Amino acid sequence: MASMFRHPASVALLVLLGGLVLAGVLLVPWDVHPPSAAAQADAVAGLPAETVAAGKEFAAATRPGSYIAMGLSLAVALLLGLTPLGARIIEWCGRPFGGHWLAEAVLGGVAVVLAAQLVTLPLSAWRHTILVRFGLSTQTWGAWAADLAKSYGVTVVTAAIMLAGLYGLMRLSPRLWWLWASAAAGVLVVVMSAVYPVVVEPLFNRFTPMADGPLRTELIEMAERDGLPVTDVLVADASRRTTAVNAYVSGLGPTRRIVVYDTLLEAPREQVVSVVAHELGHAKHGDVWVGTSIGALAVAAAACGIAVLAGAGGLLRRAGVDDITSPRSAGLILAAVAVVGLLAGPVQNVISRQIEMRADQHALELTGDPQTFIEMQTGLATTNLSDVDPPTVLHWLFGSHPTTAQRIAMAKEYA
């Protein structure tokens, strides 16, 4: 194991990890804090009992499936990466093509990636039945399957490009591939962040500019008042699949857009304004940039991490491959990505929660209307069947947003 740290990539890995810590310290708003437990309990007490009960019931119904899916896909990734099984599947996929590296990398690699996802298919179907039972999904099985097929399609295309790129670089530059891969992966994250809203999102939703009217005018005026003129507010036809309400901002520069679910437009106007004020907070603080730069550093570090991993002969032997530069190592790389991804989840979530709290504060300051903010949070929790006050450990591990209790308590403090 000691020899793996002699690889020059381990120096680059340390530098990038240092950069990640620095970005985390400098870019994440650590100065916003959730309200006290007492204030949160008070916020829960002020919510309709049915809202609280329905959220708990829905969480109890869906949580087991989510945890089983997470565990199962990790187990399969480890099985494919830490035994020769993955390497054998990849070899088998390349055989009709005379074992050509590109066939092994793309077909074999994608097969291994898909295997780890497809095992969770029955759990996704189970989840769909729960969403329908709770009235949260409006999708038929056909529409559900079409969405699933599209998201597998996105996975296949992304994985194929990344695998062909990675193993192509390894062949072109057997000694310094990790340097190029690291730079390319970082750049790819930035490009994806910019093109995702215009390339991937339209696969799932249709976007139309919000119709002229008092709401649109009020939103555009508010954005101007905020010093952040927007050219457009788009409406997504989310009602085709869900009753959940949401809004978000995505993209960078010219692709940046504020998107409002059509389901949200049934809410009173002030509440839509409050939601968009939160999204403007994200735009104003450049939160997409924060996420993108941290993401770019993380994948660049991951590419160096793979090279460091390659120095661990024991792992390669376990995976049944002689060399990391053989596409048969894709299973081992997938296993490493799965483990690191699982460990990085809580870190990603704490960063996300800080950013979300800052956007909430921005919404409160911009609208000066905590009462509507509270009504909107109550409405969101009721419609989306949110667990308003989940167990602390679960919230810490899996919560990407402050809880409803925290958000309402924050608005009460502001008032």
Residues that bind Zn ion (CB under 5 A): 356, 359
Contacts of 54 (CB under 8 A, 6+ apart): 134, 382, 385
How many residues does this entry show for the chain? 415
What is the smallest separation between the CB atom of 355 and Zn ion, expressed in angstroms?
Answer: 7
What is the smallest separation between the CB atom of 256 and Zn ion, expressed in angstroms?
Answer: 14
Instruction: Please give the angle made by the CA atoms of 190, 246 and 278, to the nearest 5 degrees.
Output: 70
Nearest by Cα to 351 from 27, 70, 36? 27
Cβ-based nearer residue to Zn ion, 356 or 369: 356
Burial class of residue 2 (count of CB atoms within 10 Å of its CB; 0-12, 13-18, 19+): exposed
What is the smallest separation between the CB atom of 281 and Zn ion, expressed in angstroms?
Answer: 7
Cβ-based nearer residue to Zn ion, 54 or 288: 288
What is the smallest separation between the CB atom of 278 and Zn ion, expressed in angstroms?
Answer: 5
Contacts of 71 (CB under 8 A, 6+ apart): none
Cβ-based nearer residue to Zn ion, 356 or 375: 356
What is the smallest separation between the CB atom of 28 and Zn ion, expressed in angstroms?
Answer: 14
What is the smallest separation between the CB atom of 379 and Zn ion, expressed in angstroms?
Answer: 16
Cβ-based nearer residue to Zn ion, 290 or 301: 290
How is 64-113 classified by DSSP, letter by letter? HHHHHHHHHHHHHHHHHHHSTHHHHHHHHHHGGGTT-HHHIIIIIHHHHH
Instruction: Please give the angle made by the CA atoms of 259, 262 and 265, to the nearest 5 degrees.
Output: 100
